[in-house]
Structure 1
Amino acid sequence: MTKARKVSIAGIAAAGAAAVTLTLVPVNGSADTKAVAEPSPVALQAQAAGKPASLNLDSQKSAIEIQVADAVKAASKAKADAKAKADAKAKLDAAAKKAAAEKAAEKRATEETVATRTVAARTAVYPNNLDGWIREALSIMKKHGIPGTYDGLHRNIMRESSGNPLAINNWDINAINGVPSKGLLQVIQPTFNAYHVPGTPFDLYHPVANITAAANYAADRYGSIDNVFGAY
């Protein structure tokens, strides 16, 4: 190679280097302050997987949609389960109420049957008249240890009411005081309340209840209704 050619090649190389330098370094000698935009995490992930970033975003969107759908299904199932439990409880409560009502009705029917049979039996044994009332009263008095005889009861009943269970005295001191004597043995209400005998109706006009209460009072005050021969 001639000297002239060597000089020419060196000059071209120098010029090329200068051109490269000019393209990399600004005129003022400082580096370019404008930063190059960094790729997004999604883009980097896509690049690492060898897939476009748009495909990765679609995958994330699909995953979110699946999660939302699953959450909606779970909420619907929970709501359905709660409704099923509430319906089951309502059915059990209704069944329990029905059973209780049926049991109560059965109990009432049994009690009414027993009461009817008792009344029928008593009616069969004790007629519904003065004789029957006295004899039934004596049977109850015997159970409670209350003294008295048929004659003692009958004698006092005839004197006090002539055997009328609805008799009422509206003229004596008791009537003036607002508590008239009533019934077969002319008992006032406070005395009946205090000496009422269990097993008889709580009714001052009821014949047997009136007799037994009066006999109970006479036994407490006079020893027996047989010892009473006048107003008591």
Structure 2
Amino acid sequence: MSARGKHRLTRTSSPLLRGIVATGTGGAALALPLMGATVASAAEPTGAVTSAASVASAASTQHATAKAGEKAQVKHHSYRVVKGDSLAKIARDHSTRGGWKQLYADNREAVGENPSLIHPGLRLTLGAKSADASKGTASNQNPTSAHKSSGENSTGRAGSGVTKTESATATTSAPSIEAAPVAATTYTNDLDGWIRQSLDIMAANGIPGSYDGIYRNVMRESSGNPLAINNWDSNAVAGTPSKGLLQVIDPTFAAYHVAGTSMDPYDPVANITAACNYAADKYGSIDNVNGAY
């Protein structure tokens, strides 16, 4: 019996060798360690899934940014001056933030040094600064670089996904659209139109007065003639004759001139608004004036 011991295999601690030695007893014993090795090497595509999610999130961010840029551009539009316009009227009709002063500041180069003198046909830019600020905020964001940094990894599929996303978002970026200017309120070139335009300017500047109060005083002072002048009363003797629809002397016109209207005292709207501004200061309203004032 001791002779058989010479043929016994030396015991080994290696599981792999034990699997190989067991081949003589059947294929099942060898299959178990080989299957375990195959399963252990299968976990690979986690990075690609994470990258795809990052690309989708970055694409959504760029799409929102493009929308914000388009809105900012729509707000920025131009307006062509028509007869009867003033900066105050245009600012009011278009709800310009900052009123006529901001409108003048944005268009000083086009208007010139006198904000009260604008001519039909002059093109003004409305909402310039607010639109520029919005566009600047949108342009400071760089979603393309975010896509690249989140999409870069060792797999080729993630890289191709970034390229497709950039191409798709570039296609959705629309060209700038210039909004059509809102039609300006027009006034007839007669006493009725002058009074109505004056009332709108007065309302924008907090000056009280009514159509009837203005009309009644105009008819008494000048009979509706915008070029009327008094060359015989005490003011005329003093060298400052009363002028225009509401017979305003030059010092009073200069002191109570309403910004955004003409500096010409014979201009019907400028004359009415200055006179009503003076009457509001001295009498509370032009409606309270029933005689020489």
**TM-score with structure 1 length normalisation?**
0.49
More strand as a share of residues: 2
More helix as a share of residues: 1
Greater relative CO, 1 or 2 (CA 8 Å, sep 6+): 2
